[in-house]
Structure formats: structure tokens, C-alpha cells
Amino acid sequence: MRTRSRTSRAAGRANWARSRFWRRALVAALVLLLAFAVATARLLVWPARGMPSRVDAIVMFAGPGNRLPVALQLAKQRRAPVLVVSLGHLGYGGPCPAASSAPEVKIICFDPDPADTRGEAEFAARLARRYGWRSVVLVTIAAQATRARLIIRRCYSGAVYVVTASQAWDEWPYQIAYGWGSLFKALLLERAC
């Protein structure tokens, strides 16, 4: 009888230890999931954005979303004397906007080399050095805003602000997945300007 009691107590302790392990693992997984959700919300869905009343240039990066109308609206409001438009890979899908699109604003269009956010940041930084810009506003989508700010700050020492354009809700899952991959790439693999 004593042997059964010892065996059942040992089995009970083993079950309790396993149960405790799985509870801790579940709590840890939930904490990690919550941290990931908060980071996604802060970095890719609702990043820091906004701008002062005037900057030296409006820089529209290429990609999805309703970017060109936002950039042209800022230009029409004379928030900057220059509008720079990337026509690169996944550009807004049209030609360089006509000068009449934003009267009294100089429009510069370019194809980045390389055809990515880094190429756009490098080109914008070269223009900033040439023209002496001290501040720029980037027009992009929310999922690209944090990465775009990070990359351009590696190339440009002036103030960088971000204004985001809207995008279709059905694009969000892809943009979040792409945004995380691109952010890790920018943080770990491509650290130079």
C-alpha cells in the first residue's frame, strides 16, 4: 500500500510540474504575442507622424497607397518650395506631375538606384546637400514610415518628418508582413546609407 502511495505522489508531482511548465509556456507565448502586437501597432500601423507648418522639401517615396494626392496637397498648401517624387519600382503609376499640379513649387522626379527605399533616401540626401535643406517631410504609407525615417536619417542629418497616405484595408496584412521583413533587413543587414 505504501508503494502505491509513493508512486501516486511521485506521479502527481510530475503531472503538477508538467502542468506548471505548460502554464508558464502559455503565459510566455501570450506575453510575446502581445509585445509583437504592440510593436506592430506602434511601428507599422500608427507610427509617429506630423510636420511643422513649413519644411524645405516634400519627398514622396514610391509604393502603394494614395501618396501623390497627399504630396500634391502639401505642395499646393506651400508647405515646402520643392516636391520630390520617386517614380521608382512600385511608383504611384504615372508620369512626373506637371508643373501646373503645384504652382510655385519646383517638382523633381527621379528613378532611385537601387530601386528601393535606400535608393530613394540616398537621392533625397544628395538633393538636400546640394540645395542646403535642413528639413524634409516624407510622404509614404504607415507601414513604411518607421523604416523610411530610419534609412533617410542614415543619409541625411536634417530634421525628418513623416506624413502618411491612406491605403486599402485589404493591403494591410501584406504591408505588415513586408514591413517587418524590410525593417529587420534595414536594422540588421543594410546599415549603411
* pLDDT, tens digit only, all 193 positions of the chain: 455 566 666 666 667 767 788 888 899 999 999 999 999 999 999 999 999 999 999 999 998 889 999 999 999 999 999 999 999 766 666 789 998 888 899 999 999 988 889 999 999 999 999 999 999 999 999 999 999 999 999 999 999 999 999 988 899 999 999 999 999 999 998 888 8
In a domain, 52, yes or no: no
Residues 171, 91 within the same domain: yes
Among candidates 42, 81, 87, which has minimal Cα distance to 60?
A: 87
Q: Residue 52 and residue 167: Cα distance in Å, rounded? A: 23
Torsion of Cα atoms, 22 then 27 then 29 then 32, to 10°: -160
Please state the domain count of the chain.
2
Are 56 and 81 contacting, i.e. CB atoms less than 8 angstroms apart? yes
In a domain, 33, yes or no: yes
pLDDT at 14: 64
Residues 41, 66 within the same domain: no
Are 84 and 111 contacting, i.e. CB atoms less than 8 angstroms apart? no
pLDDT at 139: 97
Q: Residue 77 and residue 73: Cα distance in Å, rounded? A: 6
Question: Which residues constitute the domain of residue 146?
Answer: 57-189
Phi and psi torsions of 150, nearest 5°? -60, -50
In a domain, 2, yes or no: yes
Q: H helices within the chain, ranges in order?
A: 2-40, 67-76, 117-131, 142-155, 172-184
